[in-house]
Amino acid sequence: MKILGIEHIGIATESIDKIAPFWKQVLKLNHTHRETVDKEGVITDIYDTGRGKVELLEKIGQESSIAKFLEKRGQGIHHLCFEVDNIEEAITELKQAKIRLVNEIPTKGAEQNLVVFIHPESTGGVLVELAQKPK
């Protein structure tokens, strides 16, 4: 597997609208994308630093994994995302290494990326997302 860099840091928030001015106006990051991922029950709001992005995450509904995270841990860093060149190859290697995955089949995340999540149990406590960009 080849990691190409940090794609983004995902931050769980109670309200994107409330916190967006900090990222947009104070840090003056370039707001590149806002998307509702219905399947995951989440709204994503993405800012590009030029070297890795910040992804704000707000829940839709109580079944959302973000809802559960906020309830358990409160607002804060939710996951780290690394870009990989080939996600299928990454999954095969992770399974061979007995790494615990949240999903074994890549799903479509924000920005049309193919994504897979690695369970915090296998990473030292942080949910790790691997993403392959659309070709």
Please tell me whether residue 41 binds Co ion under the rule CB under 5 A.
Answer: no
Please, are residues 87 and 116 in contact by the beta-carbon 8 Å criterion? Answer: yes
How far, in Å, CA of 33 to CA of 46, rounded? 5
SS3 42: strand
User: Which 64-93 positions form the footprint of Co ion (CB under 5 A)?
Assistant: 81
Q: Which residue is nearest to Co ion, using beta carbons? A: 10
From 34-42, 45-53, 95-103, 126-134, span contacting Co ion (CB under 5 A):
126-134
Please tell me whether residue 57 binds Co ion under the rule CB under 5 A.
Answer: no
Q: Which of 10, 87, 118, 130 is close enough to bind Co ion by CB under 5 A? A: 10
Longest dimension (CA), the chain: 45
Using CB under 5 A, count the residues that bind Co ion.
4
Nearest CB to Co ion, comparing residues 94 and 129? 129
From 5-13, 20-28, 89-97, 116-124, span contacting Co ion (CB under 5 A):
5-13
How far, in Å, CA of 69 to CA of 12, rounded? 8
List residues near Co ion by CB under 5 A. 10, 55, 81, 129
